[in-house]
Structure 1
Amino acid sequence: MRAALPTTYDYRIHYKETGVVWKLSSLFLQHIPFASHELIFYCIGTDRSTGDALGPLTGSHLTESPLFPFPVFGTLENPLHALNLQQQIEETRLSSPTAFIVAIDACLGQGSSVGQLLFHSGPIHPGKAVGKKLPPVGDVSIKGIVNIAGFMEHAVLQSTRLHLPFEMSRIVARALQLAYSRTQSNKMNDRHHKSHN
């Protein structure tokens, strides 16, 4: 019998939607194995371009949290970008070949979609918007639409106001932290339940 194909999904939610952190954390809980020890976060982008800073900003928020125990690559201090991404992928393949990778990156989209956070099964194709050929990365991906696509993408990313990627990165980081803490409390409840049965 053939194995079932993995479920594909594609969610989008605006970062200003009411209850966005809780809603995102519920999605993350369903699709990211927080109970696994082999979970790695790739926060892709550069601090040299305001529009492309969503990944490193998210990485910095996550690494600043003492309660978030997973390896995070890509912060404002040490960005994960076009020049070092391939090397990081190879190092991860060697050190953690079975790791589940969550890739986070900024992207461009339609004007009506700016401010939306996308969460979908499958990898990110980083650098696509600016014509760079980089390897696809991630078992699942989280993207934030920071500006409008279609014309002079490089300049559009450079001139994006920092406020939007910053706010979106805070939402993503808080939702990931909440999903992890919900996993922990579910574990404790299970243990408590078992010990009373």
Structure 2
Amino acid sequence: MTQLSKPSQNQQLSSLKIPHTDPEIHSAIIHRLLFYLSQAEERQPVVVVCIGTDRSTGDCLGPLVGTALARYNSPWFHLFGTLDEPVHAVNLQETLSTIHGLYDRPFVIGIDACLGQSSSVGCIQVASGPLKPGAGVHKELPPVGDIHLTGIVNVGGFMEYFVLQNTRLSLVVRLSEIIASSLHSAIQEWKSRSALIAKLD
């Protein structure tokens, strides 16, 4: 569970926060992801790390996204964190060590649930830099990602564990579906563009 923090001026210029009800949300997220992916090297392996646990309604966003992404069986990225094999506080450091042992200079995309202001609940954020898992429930865990996506699932600032256990599953599922489909489309489009450019060269 990531804590919603005040972005720096540079992050404000490039980050996206959009309500899940916005009719243009898929195209907005894909466009922003393509902007970030264009900064990666063509041959850099893309690794998606979906953080969270299926034991908490509010914190199962990551594993839901991972499970949805796994269904695509995509060759374009490597995936860690599903409902069957979640990445959480206990195994996060081990998972990150495994990733950096398997892949040379991976471009990591972190995904996690987030608590925020009531006006932001239901929003999805796409931003550069790592997310800080566990910060929303006052845990010290290693940062994750060259870029990250978060879904704001409930209100933060008071009794976070209770809030997470009493989060609407319907909202979390909807956010996970949007994130998974948008992320898959963006990576596929980026890889297709890269392949086309390589052929032209």
Q: TM-score, normalised on structure 1?
A: 0.88
Separation of aligned partners in 1, 2:139 and 2:191: 39
Deviation of the 1:187 alpha carbon: 4.7
Separation of aligned partners in 2, 1:187 and 1:87: 32
Deviation of the 1:69 alpha carbon: 3.0
2:166 to 159, 162, 167: 159
Contact 1:51 1:158 in 2 (8 A): yes
Match of 1:22 in 2: 27
1:77 to 59, 78, 84: 84
User: Highest CA radius of gyration, 1 or 2?
Assistant: 1
Task: Kindly provide the CA deviation profile for residues 8-38 of structure 1, in whole angstroms up to 9, marking residues without a partner as x.
Answer: 4321111110121111111111102494441
Match of 2:143 in 1: 136
Separation of aligned partners in 1, 2:96 and 2:161: 24
Distance 1:37 1:122, change over 3 A: closer
Task: After TM superposition, list the pairs within 5 Å mapping 1:30-179 onto structure 2.
Answer: 30-32=35-37, 33=40, 35-67=42-74, 69-179=76-186
Unmatched segments (≥5 aa) in structure 2: 1-9
Contact 2:46 2:76 in 1 (8 A): no
Separation of aligned partners in 1, 2:55 and 2:72: 24
Distance 1:185 1:94, change over 3 A: closer
What SS does structure 2 have at the residue aligned with 1:129? helix
Separation of aligned partners in 1, 2:106 and 2:193: 23
Unmatched segments (≥5 aa) in structure 1: 1-6
Separation of aligned partners in 1, 2:195 and 2:78: 23
Q: CA RMSD in A?
A: 2.0
Q: Percent identity?
A: 40
4+ residue stretches of structure 1 with deviation over 6 A?
Answer: none
Separation of aligned partners in 2, 1:181 and 1:71: 13
Q: TM-score, normalised on structure 2?
A: 0.86
